[in-house]
Amino acid sequence: MIPPDCKKDARKATGRSGEDLAAQYLEQQGYTILERNYRLRIGEVDIIARDGEDLVFIEVKTRRTKRFGSPFEAVDIRKQQQIVKIASAYVHGREIPVRFDVVAVHLSKQGVRIEVLKNAFEGWS
């Protein structure tokens, strides 16, 4: 049996790897990365970036298998609300176009596949 700490460390390593791959991919797509792992007391946003005029708050989900469902499904309403609160604090009421994206990083024996869902949160304001 694998000790729980080892599983947790493996998940963290997978997550870090996915975030690194996502940041590289986003930069290749023209995003400018401003912050990584931006933390407040209420939580964390994986990546904050600029895409054109938009300030983009990005949640990255990395999966090695489909056992736990789609990476996009993992960003539930509670997580969305948390990211929106962090975004509100980050912009301090300034009039800045804000967008919320989710990046899915699929790691498999066949390689890496990255998908970006732009404007992933509906009706956030």
Domain regions of the chain by residue span: 4-117
Is 95 exposed, middle or buried (CB count within 10 Å of its CB: 0-12, 13-18, 19+)?
A: exposed
pLDDT per position as a tens digit, 39-73:
999 999 999 999 999 999 999 999 886 766 777 88
Do residues 88 and 118 lie in contact, with contact meaning Cβ atoms separated by under 8 Å? no
Bridge partners of residue 101, in order along the sequence: 58
Residue 125 has pLDDT above 50, yes or no: no
Choices 3.40.50.720, 3.20.20.70, 3.40.1350.10, 3.40.710.10: CATH for 4-117: 3.40.1350.10
Residue 10 has pLDDT above 70, yes or no: no
Predicted confidence band of residue 9 (pLDDT cuts 50, 70, 90): low
pTM value is: 0.85
Which segments of the chain are extended strands (E)? 32-40, 43-51, 54-63, 98-108, 111-117
